[in-house]
Amino acid sequence: MNQKSLKNLFRKLKKKRRVLLTIAVFAILTTVYQNCGTKSAPYSNQQSSVGNGWPSSTPYVSPTPYTSITPVPTYTSGITFPTGITTLKSTLSSKCIGLPSGGRGHADNPSVVESDCVAGATNQFWTITSLGSNVFTLNALSKCMTSTGYSNGNPVQNFACDSSTSQQWQAIAVGSGRTIHYEFQSVDSGKCLDVTGGSTANGTLMQQWDCGSTNTHQQFDIAQVRMTSHILYREVSTNGMHMSTANSGEAGWHVEGPLVKLYDYAYDSSMVVLYRCYIGSNGSHFATTDPGCEGMSGAVRDNITLGYVHATQQDGEIPLYRQWYFRNGDFMESTDYLEGDTVGYYSTGTTAYVLPYP
């Protein structure tokens, strides 16, 4: 074989080698493509399997869909009741829980009863005081609601307050939304305030019984008592004598104007009656909290209750002063300590504390 033939053969071999190399590279790339796929994006929250995403020996499993569950209200913290005077009403009967009417309610150990709600009935007024952690005392007529013993059926009574656990009640809110009622569980016995036999009759006794959240005779509603009041007017006679009255325009008297406002009822145990007394010898009148007219000579009490007042000043109240004119013995009530000073009246002190007008 001559030199020319050898050159031609070499050229052909070189050309075949390039073809074979190209085929080999193509085969390698094809294999890589099949094994790795075309996915280049980051892993997503979808099911993956070999050949369709990143290789994985365990397929991705979607989580169980979230199911919304409405929580059952427990009201284990933050129970608050209205401040001041409240009523405690049975959810079952809508009757008010209170003490026996008359003087019996003021004695130690009267039984707590339910009866028709009566406006201004102080034996149905309760002051609920928080001790923290949803524990409260319930006070009526200056005595505390008390559980007795540890047995079902034992009466709930009112005793002088002594800070014992038998006078402490754990409040439990039951219901939902705007329909919330309250159970009261004795801290001492662990039993609940209960309307005996689930009765709706007046005079039914309150007892303690095992707590049951579905028992409406163990559920109560609390409402704040709206303290109402009326105007006390000052009037003057034709001969210049003064008189205070809740009835504007009494016969023979001229209204000077509204003076103050008095409470309609004794909303708490510190309230007292404001009476009116009359001295026949000179025709004068004066207001006082003493039913004996302060022992003043010749003074008798009118059969009139002007209203209810405080003997000690409370928030929002002002003093009601009494002034006396020595020349004719006239008394007049005033909110200004020096009102009559320039015309010969002298202040005799503070009669009571009242609401301002208007």
What pLDDT is stored for residue 20 in this prediction? 58
Write down the pLDDT at residue 48: 33
Spans of all domains in the chain: 1-38, 85-224, 229-356
pLDDT given at position 84? 83
Residue from 198, 91, 100, 117 nearest 158 by CA: 100
CB atoms within 10 A of CB 300: 12
CATH code of domain 85-224: 2.80.10.50
Closest CA to 120 of 226, 19, 17: 226
Cα(229)–Cα(226) distance, rounded to whole angstroms? 10
User: Using CA atoms, how far apart are residues 344 and 346, in angstroms rounded to an integer?
Assistant: 7
CA–CA separation, 278 and 265 (whole Å): 23
Predicted confidence at residue 268, as pLDDT, reads 81
Residue 106: both structure tokens together: 């003021």
- pTM metric for this prediction: 0.64
State residue 272 phi and psi, 5-degree precision.
Answer: -135, 165
Kindly give the parts of the chain with pLDDT less than 50: 6, 32, 37-76, 103, 105
pLDDT confidence of residue 298 = 95
d(CA 32, CA 88): 83
Residues with Cβ within 8 Å of residue 63, at least 6 apart in sequence: none
The answer to whether the CB of 299 falls within 8 A of the CB of 293 is yes
- Cα angle: 251, vertex 254, 258; to 5 degrees: 110
- Asked whether 340 and 332 are in contact (CB, 8 A), the reply is yes
pLDDT reported for residue 17: 60
pLDDT at 72: 32
Q: Which pLDDT score, from 0 to 100, does residue 38 have?
A: 43
